[in-house]
Amino acid sequence: MPHADAEPLERVRTATAEPWWKGAAIYQIYPRSFADSDGDGVGDLRGIAAHLDHVASLGVDCIWISPFYTSPMKDFGYDVADYRGVDPIFGSLADFDAVVARAHALGLKVLIDQVYSHSSDQHPWFVESRSGRDNLKADWYVWADPKPDGAPPNNWQSVFGGPSWTWDARREQYYHHNFLREQPQLDCRHPEVQEALLDITRFWLDRGVDGFRFDAINFMMCDPALRDNPPVPNPVKRTRPFDFQHHIHNQSQPEIALFLERLRGVIDSYGDRFALAEVGGEQALTEMHEYTAGQSRLHSAYGFDYLYAEALTPELVARTVEHWRDAPDVGWPSWAFENHDAPRAVSRWVAPEHREQFARTKMLLLASLRGSIILFQGEELGLTQVDVPFEKLQDPEAIANWPQTLSRDGVRTPMPWRGDARGHGFTRGEPWLPFGPDHARLAVDRQNADPRSQLSFTREVLALRRRTPALRWGRLVIREAAQRQLVFDRSYGGRTVRCTFNLGDAEIPLRRNDGALMTTGLVLADALGPYAALLEEIE
């Protein structure tokens, strides 16, 4: 079914001339875990197409599909062996085209991931590059000679553990990799590499996609002099060698922004498209602003402000709002509380007895923020993090850093579509990751039948955001950010919505107005209950 309020939203867009992506609600689909159509235990593109009615019913504007490209799956698709191909485990290019057609028929835009900082070591580019020092792609990756004693060229460390250099006997050189050794670093300074990446961008735009989410974009270039990274002085407890360094030379190079201008030029040539950057690391805020500056770079960026936060506090919200002021020189933010790399927020931020109530308030807070918002599949159900035992882990980072790193597998577990079905409607076979013990009762079919469910509430929240320009596009002003109490106003076109949140487990004082739009939890005349929220129109 088409998502709710589509026609009113179109009229608002026309009246305000805001682009579709500004303030959009984006739904992330992790293909391996969304829906399996052939019973092999792994989700696929046909499964996505068959379940897009559910996504559209939420009232989101857009889907973002994580990698489905040809890949040896060492990092589950983020190691790309063919940027123009679909891995057989997910289907075919025709299946992808069917997803795009179905999404567009439902009024949904389609974003796809692009991984331009590195490829798989099985990509034909790297196979040729490593074959010798005089082939046509010899310089398409970051290669370096060893030190006189045979050691790696410098002290750079991999995100996934150990030095970020691997010796290759064919060339008698080291190649650089910021992540797994099977993910060699492209030399994105090379003009031919840049042209190849721009051609890939055109390929998917020609197939009808509406934009891209660019993965780890600040890793695209490194210091050509290969200087050592400085150590972090007096570090607190670290879980990986990567955390002992300031990463100023293996990433975050100023020339990245110049390539993004070329990339934006290609994207703009296709009309009304959207480019979103993922940026992490010590300099993330600076880089997000740099990558979205003016009208010639990317449209928006998001980082890990909330994804890796240990607690959701008023101070955190106030700080992130301040970082993205509503000013001509500041880009447009995007926000996510959950994704495929971060633990489920309801398990991370509150005790089990508060999860059901908190899931509602968290969803309303996300929908009240200024920016575009991203929901990870299952977030609309209030899914909890799954404790995947070591023997069932698939995540290479978790396996390498066990037991220090919290496994990404716990958030990547399959979608429960039917509570009583074998495989919970996700698969007829054995799912590639286990379900959580409470996921059957949180399944889509059970929540669809309950008007008081988290799923029903998510639809109400997104419908409110869509029909309220102040929430979608309005200015945000913090009124109070106390220990537990968060109050801010969203204003647009002469209307103001006051948003009051209790992010603690005890009541807080409340001064009510008369224009209630939505509430969660206990709302009294003079108090707001634990983990409750109230949105009111005050002007």
To the nearest 10°, report the CA torsion of 526, 489, 373, 362: -10
Please count the other Cβ atoms lying within 10 Å of the Cβ belonging to residue 238.
12
Q: How far is CA 427 from CA 43, 69, 415, in A?
A: 8, 21, 10
How many other C-beta atoms can be found within 10 angstroms of the C-beta atom of residue 269?
Answer: 10
Closest CA to 372 of 213, 215, 241: 213
Of 44, 113, 187, 215, catalytic: 215
Distance CA 68, CA 86 (A): 6
Tell me the helices (H) and strands (E) count for the chain, helix number first.
Answer: 15, 20
Q: Can you say whether the dihedral through the CA atoms of 40, 41, 42, 46 is positive or negative? A: positive
Helices (H), 252-388: 255-268, 284-291, 314-323, 345-349, 355-368
| Contact between residue 122 and residue 81 where contact means Cβ atoms under 8 Å apart | yes
Sign of the four-CA dihedral 498, 503, 504, 505: positive
Helix axes 255-268, 191-206, angle to 10 degrees: 30
Q: Catalytic annotation on 489?
A: no
The half-sphere exposure of 161 on its side-chain side, counting CA atoms within 13 A, is 10
**Is 215 one of the catalytic residues?**
yes
Annotate 280-298 with b (16+ C-beta within 10 A) or e (fewer): bbebbbebbbbbbbeeebb
Residue 297 half-sphere exposure toward CB, CA atoms < 13 A: 23
> What 3-state DSSP class applies to 523?
strand
Rounded CA gap, 411 and 348, in Å? 11
Structure tokens at 235: 């570090």
Residue type for position 521 = G
- Exposure string over 148-174, b if 16+ CB within 10 A, otherwise e: eeeebbbbbbbbbbebbbbebeebebb
What does each C-alpha distance from 466 to 100, 230, 311, 499 come to in angstroms?
A: 23, 47, 28, 16
- Pick the catalytic residue: 36, 44, 87, 278? 278
Question: Pairing state of beta strands 274-278 and 300-302?
Answer: parallel
CA distance linking residue 55 with residue 102, whole number of Å: 11
The bridge status of strand 173-176 relative to strand 165-168 is antiparallel
Number of CB atoms found within 10 A of residue 4's CB = 18
Q: Which residues are catalytic?
A: 215, 278
